[in-house]
Amino acid sequence: MAVLTTLRPTTPRSRLLLAAALLLCGCSLAFGVPAALSAGSKNQPKAHAAASYQTGIADEGTEMFSDPLWQQLHTHITRYIAPYDAAVRGYSLMKATTWIHAAEAQHQQVLVAFYHSEYTPTRMPSIRTYEQDTKKFMQLFPRVHLYQPWNETNRGNVRYTYEKFNSPTAVESAKYYQALRRVCPHCTILGLDILDQNQVAPTLTYISEFKAELRHLRVPTPTLWGLHNYSDTNRFSSERTRAILGAVSGDVWLTETGGIVKFGGAFPNYRGSGLRRAAKALGYMFAIASNYSRIKRLYIYDWTGGTSSTIFDSGLTDAYHRPRPGYVIVCAHLHAAHCNVKVSSQ
């Protein structure tokens, strides 16, 4: 806490750090319920999520919906990433059907983000194929009305040893957005689902190229955008979020965000250090969302972490479904009951 004495509360970043610190310092050593932030100061973010934005949990596993820890959060929105060709691929469709039906049984409003095929992940679909396949998907799930054309559209071509897939160019993204509007003109279609990235300049360029292509296609500029601000949240900064908000008009949903427990060399989990860092990041995540009135939703990703195959781990619970320190931060912020739980060290 000594570092806070060097901060200048008049700067946006300082206000966010102060708000996150206040959120966290209210926790006991056992990660009990955090104290509420002061709502009276103009120099601090709003105290409560319900005042300005909705909060939900995103995950691809159905176990979340039957977990009492999730149920006591009383959230009403969730997000699922589906291959664009899920409707015509048996295994992908089975997974999507099971998950969406489980979410709807819990009265969740589902946001679906389309993504690369699980069968041909390095091949970008033609506009015609994308339109045909997504139309079939929407017909299968008539109660879903919120869609994103492509998950983390600016992530680029990924060539990890365990995963290989391609992402669309800004021009392709504009055409997929146009196609999805044709398929469902009455649906809520978000514009880009954008990743902030450590260096935000390429992200801003991508947004600019996307908007230019929409003008070329004579498609109205979106007024609702998706943002994954992992870099800001976990580096305790707001500069990337602020820059992206400046590059788009309208409202923004943080369609993926959260505290990273483990991811590569930048975010290790040495002797549980990642758990403590992720909990702190989740407090900062809420401070960012509270500080910008155009942020209307945030979807925390994800629910279960700590499995042996996990490369990117931001789970609120571990592989044995035990709550982690970050869960307590989320639980207390949402004013749910029984937040003073015994947390996992994994």
What secondary structure does DSSP assign to 30-51, as a single string?
A: T--PPPPPPSS-TTS--S-GGG
In angstroms, rounded to a whole number, what is the distance separating the alpha carbons of residues 47 and 98? 36
- Token duo for residue 60: 């691809």
Q: Which residue has the tokens 């954008």?
A: 194
| 11-20, 115-124, 301-310, 332-341, range with greatest mean pLDDT | 115-124
Q: Residue 34 above 70 pLDDT?
A: no
Looking at residue 163, what is its pLDDT? 76
**Range with lowest mean pLDDT among 25-29, 93-97, 98-102:** 25-29
Looking at residue 20, what is its pLDDT? 52
Q: Residue 28 above 70 pLDDT?
A: no
pTM of the model: 0.86
Question: Region 174-181: what's the mean pLDDT?
Answer: 98
Looking at residue 270, what is its pLDDT? 75
Integer-rounded Cα Rg, in Å, for the chain is 20
Locate the domains of the chain by residue range. 12-28+43-333
Looking at residue 113, what is its pLDDT? 98
* Predicted confidence (pLDDT) per residue in 307-340, tens digit: 766 788 899 999 999 999 999 999 999 987 678 7
Question: Region 180-184: what's the mean pLDDT?
Answer: 97
High-pLDDT (> 70) share of the chain, %: 84
In angstroms, rounded to a whole number, what is the distance separating the alpha carbons of residues 39 and 195? 31
Q: Residue 192 above 90 pLDDT?
A: yes
**Range with lowest mean pLDDT among 35-44, 133-142, 187-196, 304-313:** 35-44
* Predicted confidence (pLDDT) per residue in 45-88, tens digit: 343 444 589 999 999 999 999 999 999 999 999 999 999 999 99
Give the three-state DSSP class for 256: strand
Contact 91, 107 (CB under 8 A): no
Q: Residue 10 above 70 pLDDT?
A: no
Q: Which residue has the tokens 């609702």?
A: 224
- Token duo for residue 213: 């292509």
In angstroms, rounded to a whole number, what is the distance separating the alpha carbons of residues 204 and 191? 14
Helical segments of the chain, H only: 12-25, 68-71, 90-105, 127-140, 170-183, 201-217, 230-235, 239-247, 273-291, 325-333
Half-sphere exposure of 32 (CA within 13 A, CB side): 4
Q: Does domain 12-28+43-333 have CATH number 3.20.20.80?
A: yes
- Token duo for residue 175: 């055409």
Looking at residue 267, what is its pLDDT? 82
Q: Which residue has the tokens 């992530």?
A: 155
Q: Of 147, 297, 156, 273, give the one whose Cα is nearest residue 222.
A: 147
Q: Residue 31 above 70 pLDDT?
A: no
Task: Name the residue with higher pLDDT: 20 or 317.
Answer: 317
Chain centroid offset of residue 112 CA: 12
Looking at residue 164, what is its pLDDT? 87
High-pLDDT (> 90) share of the chain, %: 71
**Range with lowest mean pLDDT among 80-84, 143-147, 156-160:** 156-160
Mean pLDDT score of the chain: 85
Looking at residue 8, what is its pLDDT? 32
Q: Residue 212 above 50 pLDDT?
A: yes
Q: Residue 116 above 90 pLDDT?
A: yes
Chain centroid offset of residue 20 CA: 18
